[in-house]
Amino acid sequence: GAVVSQHPSWVICKSGTSVKIECRSLDFQATTMFWYRQFPKQSLMLMATSNEGSKATYEQGVEKDKFLINHASLTLSTLTVTSAHPEDSSFYICSARDLGTHTYEQYFGPGTRLTVT
Amino acid sequence: QQQVKQSPQSLIVQKGGISIINCAYENTAFDYFPWYQQFPGKGPALLIAIRPDVSEKKEGRFTISFNKSAKQFSLHIMDSQPGDSATYFCAASMWARGGTSYGKLTFGQGTILTVHP
């Protein structure tokens, strides 16, 4: 089946620093990837849609200058949290759709736990 | 109009029992309704999904019932097992109309299922 990986699985950073999270589709190509944020015991909230070769589309209320998204290839999207603050601590999850299928199914990565101290 | 409302918030079932989780939506443009299972610290995994042109879909112990006129859909887990203990999310997305909402998943609030042995 289609596999999506994320790296790192968890990261701790100091307030004011930046951290990059990678999302890779391992065995399929994805023109579109989605980035979600999930706070403890809450649902997933879509942050942005990442499109290969073009600018990401951000959801209302998400700061595009703070959450930089780059989708440089059909198998890799990155999310960079710039000038991180403790309130950015969360579980970040990406998903991708297999370009080669005609289904609506999205495959989710295992998530990245970010802790900002 | 983009919301998906899920209930109950938590559910306790005995082993072998039936677990039922309900979701309701407002936006009639939604045309894909998946259910996801999430274990602590992991990304969501697709369980089963349905399109609005069918009223029921069954895969193993999991069944989706879909009521288009009522704009409701539900997940039934038959013969619930302790290993089913997890958080379940319903979701909805629209594909046919395209545009900026193309493929975006809107999640319900989640249901924490506990199956006692």
Digit-coded pLDDT (tens) for B25-37: 999 989 999 999 9
Statement: residue A18 has pLDDT above 70: yes
Selected residue of B37, B39, B46, B57 to mutate for chain A interface (largest A Cβ count, 10 A): B46
Q: How many residues does chain B have?
A: 117
CA distance A35 to A2: 17
Residues of A in contact with B100 (CB under 8 A): 57
Instruction: Give percent above pLDDT 90 in chain A.
Output: 75
Tell me if A113 sits within 8 A of B41, measured CB to CB: yes
Omega cis (within 30) before A8? yes
- Cβ distance B105 to A34 less than 8 Å, yes or no, reads yes
pLDDT classification of B97: cutoffs 50, 70, 90: low
Tell me if A105 sits within 8 A of B48, measured CB to CB: no
Chain A residue with Cα closest to B88 = A43
Statement: residue A14 has pLDDT above 80: yes
Q: What is the pLDDT of residue B103?
A: 78
| B49 has a chain A CB within 8 A of its CB | yes
DSSP B39-103: -TTS--EEEEEE-TT-SEEEETTEEEEEETTTTEEEEEESS--GGG-EEEEEEEBB-TT-GGGBT
Tell me if A96 sits within 8 A of A65, measured CB to CB: no
Supply angle C-alpha A82, A88, A93, rounded to 5. 90
Residues of B in contact with A32 (CB under 8 A): 103
- Cβ distance B34 to A105 less than 8 Å, yes or no, reads yes
